[in-house]
Protein backbone atom coordinates (compact mmCIF):
# COMPACT_ATOMS: atom_id res chain seq x y z
CA UNK A 1 0.00 0.00 0.00
CA UNK A 2 1.30 3.44 -0.92
CA UNK A 3 0.64 6.28 1.47
CA UNK A 4 0.82 8.95 -1.22
CA UNK A 5 0.42 9.04 -4.99
CA UNK A 6 3.95 10.43 -5.28
CA UNK A 7 5.38 7.27 -3.70
CA UNK A 8 3.63 5.12 -6.30
CA UNK A 9 4.80 7.34 -9.17
CA UNK A 10 8.40 7.25 -7.92
CA UNK A 11 8.30 3.47 -7.63
CA UNK A 12 6.88 3.11 -11.16
CA UNK A 13 9.53 5.47 -12.52
CA UNK A 14 12.39 3.57 -10.87
CA UNK A 15 11.09 0.19 -12.03
CA UNK A 16 10.67 1.53 -15.57
CA UNK A 17 14.23 2.86 -15.61
CA UNK A 18 15.52 -0.51 -14.40
CA UNK A 19 13.59 -2.38 -17.10
CA UNK A 20 14.79 -0.03 -19.84
CA UNK A 21 18.43 -0.67 -18.90
CA UNK A 22 17.88 -4.42 -19.30
CA UNK A 23 15.68 -4.25 -22.40
CA UNK A 24 17.02 -6.34 -25.30
CA UNK A 25 14.01 -7.59 -27.25
CA UNK A 26 11.29 -6.20 -29.44
CA UNK A 27 7.66 -5.75 -28.39
CA UNK A 28 5.31 -8.12 -30.18
CA UNK A 29 2.25 -6.50 -31.78
CA UNK A 30 3.63 -3.01 -31.15
CA UNK A 31 1.49 -1.53 -33.93
CA UNK A 32 -1.70 -2.74 -32.29
CA UNK A 33 -0.53 -1.55 -28.86
CA UNK A 34 0.34 1.89 -30.22
CA UNK A 35 -3.02 2.15 -31.96
CA UNK A 36 -4.89 1.35 -28.75
CA UNK A 37 -2.78 3.79 -26.73
CA UNK A 38 -3.41 6.54 -29.27
CA UNK A 39 -7.18 5.93 -29.00
CA UNK A 40 -7.30 6.02 -25.20
CA UNK A 41 -4.54 8.60 -24.59
CA UNK A 42 -4.52 10.63 -27.80
CA UNK A 43 -3.33 13.86 -26.21
CA UNK A 44 -0.38 12.09 -24.55
CA UNK A 45 0.71 9.81 -27.40
CA UNK A 46 0.39 12.08 -30.45
CA UNK A 47 3.39 14.33 -29.62
CA UNK A 48 5.67 11.27 -29.73
CA UNK A 49 4.38 9.73 -32.96
CA UNK A 50 6.27 10.76 -36.08
Q: Is the Cα dihedral 30, 5, 47, 15 positive or negative?
A: negative
Given this model, what pLDDT does residue 41 score?
92
In the chain (50 residues long), the average pLDDT of successive 10-residue segments reads 83 91 85 92 86
Given this model, what pLDDT does residue 1 score?
67
Query: How many residues does the structure list for the chain?
Result: 50
Specify the number of domains making up the chain: 1
Q: What's the domain range around 22? A: 5-48
Q: How close are the terminal C-alpha atoms of the chain, in Å?
A: 38
Given this model, what pLDDT does residue 3 score?
82
Amino acid sequence: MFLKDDALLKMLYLVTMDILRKWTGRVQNWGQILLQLSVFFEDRVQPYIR
